[in-house]
């Protein structure tokens, strides 16, 4: 079983030089070079029974911009060219669309290494300025033969030879898993090492959305924001393309500002209208200026892209980032005819904002850019995104409203933890487990990392162990969960540096590992600086965890105890007086005050001992004898925690 770290861990320091996140807002955009790899193995009969890979590819063929270079390959036992890698034009699209029927589910194996190698065998001949991206769709794992040894060797070749070559060449790999049985660890590694995205299509119906997310990363385009079903077209827009997903599956119509209604069956010569399964793609040349309306129930992913000489120029973050100690930032500028707009009269009318949504929990943020009274003299705005210091997948939308025009830029960014842990079973040894720590960030200088495991054994004994790397970027700790009940609690600390020489400290999540299910019980965290290793606790016949220091907030937590004791004592005193009067001179009534329970508050890593262990003090005081009609009260009840 594998465990991936919880999201939202604290940041750790990594050099920005190895993780560039800010570019110039007026950088010349490179033309996209997109290679699409589609799995046609036999298991797709179960995971894509309706062959929705075909309409998903059809969507991409229509979305490729005119300045793109693209190619499509299918792979199973071998690798076949479905659309040759060349400049995109109408003839290329038509030829590729005519071969979509070749996407089947008949192949015996899943040769991912050969597919990546074939699709990128021209890296030494890439055109200057090209931004090469690979979109890999699969439902399985590396499978090239019946022999497990052959599959293991092919997987090792992919990780040790092909992946480093792609990373050195700057190729970005976006991976899409279409099944829970896909090799998630491998697909995450391919995406993480190349600053790409990884996504899972839980059902085949989600494939369009996931493909589109990867395509947006590979070939970004400027948009106008959709406000409900409406969008604004200004006089600078030469062409618009509306991609509309049908939430209800019904035909849609498009209303232009001149109150004309257009449809798939009836539209003007200035429109191209393509209808696919679940979506319509409409391109309008020289669109009317004003407000347009989409008459349909829009599904997620609907958008309107444009070609215009007035554009919102936004620096793009890498599609994949690793948590570090600095907030990524975006540079923004409004460009007209390729020049940054600096006119303060126009910029004062401009509203710039960034909306961020985290996919895992739906949390949203809104940030205003250019909120200062005076716009920047050079027309350039900058806005930091502090939420990207926590792991997660974020949808980022930069919106500009100039009163008479609107613009939008969108991007999805995956922010990952620098390390991950997993728990592996050992073949033929049911009680054996191996806990592995893996450096996900390839910029980490793994050879100079000191990794220490903090271990709490099933008998409560604490120890520390320094680990030696067992594989590149990986450290492994064997455990025998068959001993003394079998539950271990452990975490790792890492002291090291990145390949630029910057030092860092990091602590993994705390994992409970037993013979049954293993689980994370505390999140990963950054450490401010290296800490000296505490001494290993000596073995005892009756082990007892050392008492932790009382937190500063402990006195505030004890006031309910003191208040309860005081009230209990007052009540006992009153009852004692009653008893005294009833007994009529019997002489005495002993009121005994319960002692202060000074028990320590446990920490996350050292749970409170059970009642059967030594060291836990009872809170009961001596019994008080009262008449039969008196209320029986435990004097310590109100003070028990």
Position 455 in a domain: yes
> What is the average per-residue pLDDT within 281-293?
96
pLDDT over 60 at 597, yes or no? no
3-state secondary structure of 111: coil
> Residue 204 — pLDDT band, cuts 50, 70, 90?
low
Q: Does an H or E element contain 421, and which?
A: strand 419-426
pTM of the model: 0.75
- Residue 290 CA to residue 405 CA, distance in Å, equals 9
* Per-residue pLDDT tens digits for 509-566: 999 998 767 788 777 765 544 444 444 343 344 444 444 444 444 344 444 445 555 5
pLDDT over 60 at 425, yes or no? yes
Choose among 114, 103, 116, 46: nearest CA to 74: 103
Please check whether residues 186 and 256 belong to one and the same domain: no
Please check whether residues 426 and 339 belong to one and the same domain: no
DSSP string over 490-538: EEEEEEEEBTT--EEEEE--EEEE-SS--EEEE--EE-SS--PPPPPPP
> Residue 169 — pLDDT band, cuts 50, 70, 90?
very high
Please check whether residues 295 and 322 belong to one and the same domain: no
Position 617 in a domain: no
* CB neighbour list of residue 384: distance below 8 Å, 6 or more residues apart: 327, 328, 329
Mean pLDDT over the full length of the chain? 80
392 strand-pairing partners: 415
Please check whether residues 58 and 138 belong to one and the same domain: yes
> Residue 576 — pLDDT band, cuts 50, 70, 90?
low
Count other Cβ atoms within 10 Å, centred on residue 164. 12
pLDDT over 50 at 504, yes or no? yes
pLDDT at 86: 94
* Per-residue pLDDT tens digits for 371-386: 666 899 999 999 999 9
The residue out of 153, 168, 200 marking a domain boundary is 200
Position 20 in a domain: no
Position 11 in a domain: no
Position 381 in a domain: yes
Higher pLDDT, 552 or 578: 578
Please check whether residues 159 and 107 belong to one and the same domain: yes
pLDDT at 105: 95
Judged by average pLDDT, the poorest of 32-36, 104-108, 539-543 is 539-543
- Residue 54 CA to residue 46 CA, distance in Å, equals 16
Percent of the chain with pLDDT over 90: 58
Higher pLDDT, 111 or 212: 111
pLDDT over 50 at 634, yes or no? no
Number of domains within the chain: 4
> What is the average per-residue pLDDT within 194-223?
87
Give me the residue label for tokens 């994992």: 511
Position 559 in a domain: no
pLDDT over 80 at 11, yes or no? no
The residue out of 526, 559, 587 marking a domain boundary is 526
Higher pLDDT, 482 or 398: 398
Choose among 336, 87, 359: nearest CA to 209: 359
Position 560 in a domain: no
Q: Which residue range forms the structural domain that includes residue 292?
A: 223-310
- Residue 551 CA to residue 545 CA, distance in Å, equals 17
Rg (alpha carbons) of the chain, rounded to whole number: 32
Higher pLDDT, 621 or 136: 136
The answer to whether the CB of 139 falls within 8 A of the CB of 178 is yes
* Per-residue pLDDT tens digits for 209-249: 888 888 889 888 999 999 999 999 999 999 999 999 887 77
Please check whether residues 121 and 185 belong to one and the same domain: yes
Count other Cβ atoms within 10 Å, centred on residue 491. 23
Q: Is 134 left (phi over 0), alpha (psi -120 to 50) or beta?
A: beta
- Residue 115 CA to residue 78 CA, distance in Å, equals 8
The residue out of 526, 547, 563 marking a domain boundary is 526
pLDDT over 80 at 183, yes or no? yes
């Amino acid at each position: 079983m594998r465990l991936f770290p919880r999201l939202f861990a604290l940041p750790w320091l990594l050099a920005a030089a190895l993780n560039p996140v800010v570019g110039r807002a007026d950088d010349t955009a490179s033309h996209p070079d997109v290679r699409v790899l589609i799995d046609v193995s036999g298991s797709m009969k179960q995971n894509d029974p309706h062959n929705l890979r075909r309409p998903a590819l059809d969507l991409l063929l229509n979305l490729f911009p005119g300045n793109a270079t693209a190619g499509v390959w299918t792979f199973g036992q071998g690798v076949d060219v479905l659309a040759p890698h060349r400049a995109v034009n109408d003839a290329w699209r038509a030829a590729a669309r005519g071969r979509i029927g070749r996407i089947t589910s008949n192949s015996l194996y899943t040769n991912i290494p050969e597919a990546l190698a074939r699709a990128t065998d021209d890296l030494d001949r890439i055109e200057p300025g090209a931004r090469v991206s690979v979109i890999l769709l699969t439902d399985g794992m590396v499978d090239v033969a019946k022999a497990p040894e052959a599959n293991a060797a092919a997987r090792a070749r992919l990780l040790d030879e092909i992946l480093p070559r792609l990373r050195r060449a700057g190729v970005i790999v976006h991976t899409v898993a279409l099944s829970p049985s896909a090799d998630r660890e491998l697909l995450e590694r391919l995406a993480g090492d190349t600053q790409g995205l990884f996504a899972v299509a839980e059902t085949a119906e989600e494939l369009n959305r996931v493909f589109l997310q990867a395509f947006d990363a590979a070939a970004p385009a400027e948009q106008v924001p959709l406000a409900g079903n409406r969008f604004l077209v200004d006089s600078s827009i030469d062409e618009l393309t509306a991609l509309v997903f049908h939430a209800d599956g019904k035909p849609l119509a498009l209303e232009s500002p001149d109150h004309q209604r257009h449809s798939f069956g009836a539209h003007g010569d200035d429109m191209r209208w393509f209808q696919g399964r679940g979506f319509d793609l409409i391109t309008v040349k020289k669109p009317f200026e004003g407000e347009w309306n989409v008459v349909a129930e829009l599904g997620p992913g609907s958008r309107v892209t444009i070609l215009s000489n007035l554009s919102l120029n936004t620096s793009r973050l890498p599609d994949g980032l690793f948590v570090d100690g600095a907030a990524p930032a975006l540079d923004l500028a409004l460009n007209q005819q390729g020049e940054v707009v600096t006119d303060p009269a126009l910029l004062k009318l401009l509203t710039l904002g960034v909306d961020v949504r985290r996919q895992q929990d739906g949390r949203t943020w809104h940030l205003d850019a250019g909120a200062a009274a005076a716009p920047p003299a050079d027309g350039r705005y900058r806005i930091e995104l502090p939420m990207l210091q926590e792991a997660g997948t974020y949808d980022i939308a930069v919106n500009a409203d100039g009163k008479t025009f609107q613009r939008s830029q969108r991007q999805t960014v995956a922010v990952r933890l620098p390390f991950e842990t997993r728990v592996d079973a050992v073949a033929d040894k049911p009680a054996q487990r191996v806990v592995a720590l893996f450096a996900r960030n390839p910029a980490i200088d793994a050879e100079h990392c000191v990794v220490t495991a903090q271990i709490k054994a099933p008998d409560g004994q604490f120890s520390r162990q320094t680990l030696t790397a067992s594989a590149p970027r990986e450290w492994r700790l064997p455990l025998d969960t068959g001993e003394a009940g079998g539950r271990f609690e452990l975490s790792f600390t890492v002291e090291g540096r990145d390949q630029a020489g910057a030092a860092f400290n990091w602590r993994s999540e705390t994992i409970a590992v037993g013979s049954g299910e293993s689980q994370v019980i505390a999140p990963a965290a950054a450490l401010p600086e290296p800490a000296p290793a505490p001494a290993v606790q000596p073995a005892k016949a009756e082990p007892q965890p050392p008492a932790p220091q009382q937190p500063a907030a402990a006195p505030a937590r004890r006031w309910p105890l003191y208040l309860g004791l005081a009230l209990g004592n007052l009540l006992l005193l009153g009852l004692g007086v009653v008893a005294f009067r009833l007994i009529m001179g019997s002489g005495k009534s002993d009121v005994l005050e319960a002692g202060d329970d000074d028990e320590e508050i446990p920490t996350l890593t050292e749970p409170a001992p059970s009642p059967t262990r030594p060291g836990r003090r009872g809170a009961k005081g001596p019994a008080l004898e009262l008449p039969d009609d008196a209320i029986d009260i435990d004097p310590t009840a109100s003070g028990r925690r």
